[in-house]
Amino acid sequence: MNSSRDIERLRALSGIKWKRWDDDVIPAWVADMDFATAPAIVDALRQMVDSSDFGYNLTSFDDSIPKLWADWSERRFGWRPDPERTRVFSTTLQPIAVALSIATSPGDGVVLFTPVYAPFFGIVEKAGRELVEYKLDQTEWRIDIDALRAAITPGTRAMVLCNPHNPSGRAFDASELAAVAQIAEEFDLLVISDEIWQDFVYLGAEHIPFASLGPEAWSRSVIVTAASKSFNLGGLSCAVAHLGSPKVAKGVAELPPHLLGGINALGAHATHAAWEHGEDWLATTTQTLRANRDHLMARMAAELPEVHVATPEATYLAWLDFRDTSVAADPAKYLLESGRVGLSPGPDFGVAGAGFARVNFATSVEILDEIVDRMVTTLRNGPRT
Ligand SMILES: Cc1ncc(COP(=O)(O)O)c(C=O)c1O
pLDDT of residue 232: 98
| Predicted confidence band of residue 56 (pLDDT cuts 50, 70, 90) | confident
Among protein residues, the one with the nearest Cα to ligand 1's atom 14 is 31
> Taking a C-beta distance cutoff of 8 angstroms, is the pair 321, 309 a contact?
yes
pLDDT in tens, 148-189: 999 999 999 999 999 999 999 999 999 999 999 999 999 999
Across residues 257-281, what is the average pLDDT?
A: 94
pLDDT in tens, 315-361: 999 999 999 999 999 999 999 999 999 999 999 999 999 999 999 99
Q: Which of 300, 383, 303, 369 is nearest to 339 (CA)?
A: 383
226 ligand 1 Cβ < 6 A: yes
pLDDT of residue 55: 86
DSSP letter, residue 308: B
For residue 133, what is the enclosing H or E element? strand 130-135
The lowest-confidence range among 104-113, 125-134, 253-262 is 253-262
Q: What is d(CA 358, CA 142) in angstroms, rounded to the nearest whole number?
A: 18
| Predicted confidence band of residue 3 (pLDDT cuts 50, 70, 90) | confident
Decide if pLDDT at 305 tops 60.
yes
% pLDDT > 70, the chain: 98
The 3-class SS string of 189-200 reads CEEEEECCCCCC
Decide if pLDDT at 140 tops 80.
yes
> Taking a C-beta distance cutoff of 8 angstroms, is the pair 101, 127 a contact?
yes
Among 65, 117, 193, 240, residue to substitute to test ligand 1 (most atoms within 8 Å of Cβ):
117
DSSP letter, residue 240: E
pLDDT of residue 29: 97
* Higher per-residue pLDDT: 12 or 56: 12
Q: What is d(CA 169, CA 260) in angstroms, rounded to the nearest whole number?
A: 31
Decide if pLDDT at 61 tops 80.
no
| Alpha-carbon torsion (19, 24, 30, 32), positive or negative | positive
Across residues 11-35, what is the average pLDDT?
A: 95
Among 33, 92, 96, 98, residue to substitute to test ligand 1 (most atoms within 8 Å of Cβ):
92
97 ligand 1 Cβ < 6 A: no
% pLDDT > 90, the chain: 93
Q: Which of 249, 99, 80 is nearest to 160 (CA)?
A: 99
Q: What is d(CA 203, CA 283) in angstroms, rounded to the nearest whole number?
A: 12
What topology is assigned to 50-277 in CATH?
Aspartate Aminotransferase; domain 2 (3.40.640)
| Predicted confidence band of residue 63 (pLDDT cuts 50, 70, 90) | confident
Residue 126 contacts by C-beta under 8 Å, 6 or more apart in sequence? none
Q: Terminus-to-terminus CA distance in the chain, angstroms?
A: 27
Residue 365 contacts by C-beta under 8 Å, 6 or more apart in sequence? 1, 291, 292, 295
Q: Where are the domains of the chain?
A: 3-38+280-380, 50-277
User: C-alpha distances in angstroms, 324 versus 17, 74, 305, 379?
Assistant: 29, 44, 10, 12
pLDDT in tens, 188-213: 999 999 999 999 999 999 999 999 99
Across residues 12-27, what is the average pLDDT?
A: 94
> Taking a C-beta distance cutoff of 8 angstroms, is the pair 143, 178 a contact?
no
* 209 φ, ψ (degrees, to nearest 5): -60, 135
pLDDT in tens, 85-124: 999 999 999 999 999 999 999 999 999 999 999 999 999 9
pLDDT of residue 58: 59
Q: What angle do CA 349, 351, 356 make, to 5 degrees?
A: 65
Longest dimension (CA), the chain: 61
> Taking a C-beta distance cutoff of 8 angstroms, is the pair 293, 318 a contact?
yes
pLDDT in tens, 159-170: 999 999 999 999
Among protein residues, the one with the nearest Cα to ligand 1's atom 7 is 92
Decide if pLDDT at 1 tops 60.
no
| Predicted confidence band of residue 59 (pLDDT cuts 50, 70, 90) | low
162 ligand 1 Cβ < 6 A: yes
Across residues 295-311, what is the average pLDDT?
A: 98
User: C-alpha distances in angstroms, 261 versus 90, 192, 237, 326?
Assistant: 8, 21, 12, 48
> Taking a C-beta distance cutoff of 8 angstroms, is the pair 324, 138 a contact?
no
| Predicted confidence band of residue 62 (pLDDT cuts 50, 70, 90) | confident
Decide if pLDDT at 219 tops 60.
yes
String of b and e for 313-323 (b: at least 16 CB within 10 Å)? bbbbbbbbbbb
The reply to whether omega before 115 is within 30° of 0 (cis) is yes
Q: Which of 93, 145, 141 is nearest to 119 (CA)?
A: 93
Fold match between domain 3-38+280-380 and domain 50-277: no
Q: What is d(CA 115, CA 347) in angstroms, rounded to the nearest whole number?
A: 8
Decide if pLDDT at 385 tops 70.
no
What topology is assigned to 3-38+280-380 in CATH?
Aspartate Aminotransferase, domain 1 (3.90.1150)
pTM: 0.97
